Amino acid sequence: MVWVLLSPMLGATAALFGSLFERFRGTACVISTISLAVPAVLLALLTGPVMEGEVLQHSLGGWSPPWGINLVMDGLAWVSASLTTLIAVAVALFALDSGKYGARFFFFLLMMAVGMYGVALTGDLFTMFVCFEIIAVSVYVLVAWEGTGTGLAASLKYLILSTTGIMIFLFGVFLIYRDLGVLSISGVSEALRAAGGVRNTPVMHLALASLCVGIGVRTAFIPFHTWLPEAHAYAPHPISAFLSGAMIKISFFAMVRIVLEFGGDYLMDLLMWIGAFTALAAVLSALSQTDVKRLLAYHSISQLGYILAVFGAGSSLALTASFLHALNHALFKSLLFLTVGAAVSFTGERNIYRIHGLGSRMPVVAAAFFVGALSISGIPPFNGYASKAFITMGMKGSGAYPLLWATSFLTMASFIKLGRIFLPFSRSGAEYDRKERPPGILETSVVAVLALMCLGTGVFGSQVAGFMHSMLYGTELVTAPRLFTAGSLLKTLPMIALGILAWRMVLTGPGRSLSGRVRALAPQLRTVLIFFFAGLLAFAAVAY
């Protein structure tokens, strides 16, 4: 199990060596990519024991808990680490083929992966804090990698807000250690149970709220989301895919572990409503965008809202639906960022109204994009349709579900708007100021494989959900929606019709005017920090 962490660390060492010696740079990048694939083999070997409910542990340096660093591999950690591996390998291969990124880039990419593996596997809160900071330092550098003014500003904004968030997280760690004298997650859980639960320990309400808000900044649900649109939009394209596909999910999974282990069930309703509101508000912002990557960035926030909302529904089916959509979102959003990134690199344009006719110039990439667009829009037989069917069942009877339903057709409208850039025809005389080479064979292969995975996890959505349920609970999934009946397929038609209607409304004069006003909304840093502390008070007060 420890090699899941050590392999990318050795790969990062190779990348660092390659950055110092020019003759080894190409080899170092290849070794780095291979080192990211090693955890896939290790996790495959651990699938059987974890699925049977076995919890594997490893104490680093021979120091057992509570004094040493303890790695824990259970179902949740396995899912987290596997998702990290899947997206990390895809973006590394894409970056390797592009030829634009050297050994230093791969060093920070691998250190980011190391931090994510650490968050997934750690058994104590302080090591989780350290691993979050490893991720943060890597993200600061990678977001600003291309040296543009917008990238540097996005990196600085992430630096300020993520530092504020992790300080709030560390405050929660302080309260727990002060009152309970232990930092291991299992030890804190046992101490809280011995005290009669978190409800009987009022200070722990504030501690748990601090942990959730601190992680919430990294997860980027409203009101902790303001750093994400710029960071995802102006980072290099592979990093945008990694941030959206994996990094925000790992933060979410960490929050899930803390809430479930520490008895934070009283937070579920709050999380459900925050998630539903996040989904709807973010998709409205996405629909108003003219920058292709900012549009995708807001959809990362919106889809995270789905994941958070159904988790807040609280049932075992809801948790399975949440993790299923996290996996599916990782696949289709990584695919979308890579394909749209290829369009931006090829044309030198980011404005959605200035890119035309790419379907005939990069047909495989265009086809892969449309698979991703149909997936995120919830169209059968792709994976977004499957996981949203599970979300519908998991949130049955919830007052928050109508917000998610409205989000669905607005998502469809967004991708009708975005999809025009990949249509196989262009306006007469459409040319671009700057052109890079079309995507290479390896880049094209990566997006093709991701597209096939979006299709496969949709067609076999029930089986993937059953596997996910077994990993999380060690039991078979008994209740599940029937995905491909005539009735369930027909239910997508009103969503498609409403999506087309919403898209047409955006193109009208009033629609464009309203979109401009939404784009202009940009809260000042002072207001954002007020949101942070208001959120902290809300999380702490909901227990009462």
Measure Cα distances from 543 to 35, 208, 246, 515 in Å.
45, 10, 31, 38
Task: Work out the average pLDDT over 475-493.
Answer: 88
- Rounded to an integer, what distance in angstroms lies between the CA atom of residue 360 and that of residue 358? 5
- Rounded to an integer, what distance in angstroms lies between the CA atom of residue 112 and that of residue 133? 10
Other C-beta atoms lying within 10 Å of the C-beta of residue 124: 24
- Rounded to an integer, what distance in angstroms lies between the CA atom of residue 329 and that of residue 248? 11
**Which residues touch 65 (CB under 8 Å, ≥6 apart)?**
59, 123, 124, 184, 186, 187
The answer to whether 458 and 386 have CB atoms below 8 angstroms apart is yes
- Rounded to an integer, what distance in angstroms lies between the CA atom of residue 383 and that of residue 372? 9
Q: Label residue 59 by pLDDT band (50, 70, 90).
A: confident
Please report the DSSP string for 444-465 in residue order.
HHHHHHHHHHHHHHHHTHHHHH
Reported as half-sphere exposure (CB side, CA atoms, 13 A), residue 376 has a value of 36
Element (H, E) at 166: helix 149-180
Q: What percent of the chain has pLDDT over 90?
A: 60
Q: Label residue 431 by pLDDT band (50, 70, 90).
A: low
Dihedral-angle region of residue 474 (phi above 0 means left; psi in -120 to 50 means alpha; beta otherwise): left
pLDDT given at position 79: 95
Look over the chain and give the mean of its residue pLDDT values, rounded to a whole number.
90
- Rounded to an integer, what distance in angstroms lies between the CA atom of residue 413 and that of residue 497? 10
482-497 as b/e: b if 16+ CB within 10 A: ebeeeeeeeebeebbe
- Rounded to an integer, what distance in angstroms lies between the CA atom of residue 65 and that of residue 544? 33
Name the phi and psi angles at 212, rounded to 5: -65, -40
The answer to whether 22 and 71 have CB atoms below 8 angstroms apart is no
29: which DSSP letter?
H
Task: Work out the average pLDDT over 234-251.
Answer: 93
Closest CA to 408 of 381, 450, 379: 379
**Residue showing tokens 């200070």:** 203
Q: pLDDT at residue 427 above 60?
A: no
Closest CA to 451 of 376, 390, 526: 376
Q: Cβ-count burial of 255 within 10 angstroms (0-12 exposed, 13-18 middle, 19+ buried)?
A: buried
Task: Work out the average pLDDT over 463-489.
Answer: 89
Q: Label residue 348 by pLDDT band (50, 70, 90).
A: confident
**Which residues touch 506 (CB under 8 Å, ≥6 apart)?**
287, 288, 413, 417, 512, 515
One-letter amino acid for residue 273 of the chain? W
Residues 432-452 pLDDT 10s: 555 566 778 888 999 999 999
pLDDT top residue among 20 and 378: 378
- Rounded to an integer, what distance in angstroms lies between the CA atom of residue 502 and that of residue 507? 9
Which stretches within 348-474 are classed as H helix? 363-376, 383-394, 401-419, 441-459, 461-473
Cα end-to-end distance, the chain, whole Å: 41
Please report the DSSP string for 273-312 in residue order.
HHHHHHHHHHHHHHHT--BHHHHHHHHHHHHHHHHHHHHH
**Residue showing tokens 């550098």:** 141
**Residue showing tokens 């990048």:** 29
Name the 3-class secondary structure at 73.
Answer: strand
The answer to whether 349 and 432 have CB atoms below 8 angstroms apart is yes
**Residue showing tokens 């807000």:** 161
Q: pLDDT at residue 355 above 80?
A: yes
The answer to whether 90 and 450 have CB atoms below 8 angstroms apart is yes
- Rounded to an integer, what distance in angstroms lies between the CA atom of residue 448 and that of residue 351? 25
pLDDT given at position 138: 95
pLDDT given at position 172: 94
Task: Work out the average pLDDT over 330-354.
Answer: 92
Q: pLDDT at residue 520 above 60?
A: yes
pLDDT given at position 20: 79
pLDDT given at position 467: 94
**Residue showing tokens 């660390």:** 9
The answer to whether 367 and 449 have CB atoms below 8 angstroms apart is no
Residues 201-240 pLDDT 10s: 788 889 999 999 999 999 989 888 888 898 988 999 999 9
Please report the DSSP string for 358-370 in residue order.
TTTTSHHHHHHHH
Query: Can the peptide bond before residue 439 be classed as cis, meaning omega within 30 degrees of 0?
Result: no
Q: pLDDT at residue 428 above 50?
A: no
Name the phi and psi angles at 377, rounded to 5: -80, -5
The answer to whether 38 and 22 have CB atoms below 8 angstroms apart is no
Q: Label residue 429 by pLDDT band (50, 70, 90).
A: very low
Provide the Cα torsion 457, 325, 339, 488; round to 10°: 60
Task: Work out the average pLDDT over 230-253.
Answer: 93
Residues 8-56 pLDDT 10s: 999 999 998 888 777 777 888 889 899 999 999 999 999 999 998 889 9
Residues 74-125 pLDDT 10s: 999 999 999 999 999 999 999 987 778 888 999 999 999 999 999 999 989 9
Q: Quick one: angle between helices 383-394 and 441-459, nearest 10?
A: 40
Q: What percent of the chain has pLDDT over 70?
A: 97
pLDDT given at position 60: 82
The answer to whether 375 and 332 have CB atoms below 8 angstroms apart is yes
Reported as half-sphere exposure (CB side, CA atoms, 13 A), residue 480 has a value of 21
pLDDT given at position 457: 95
Measure Cα distances from 166 to 216, 227, 253, 263 in Å.
10, 14, 16, 22
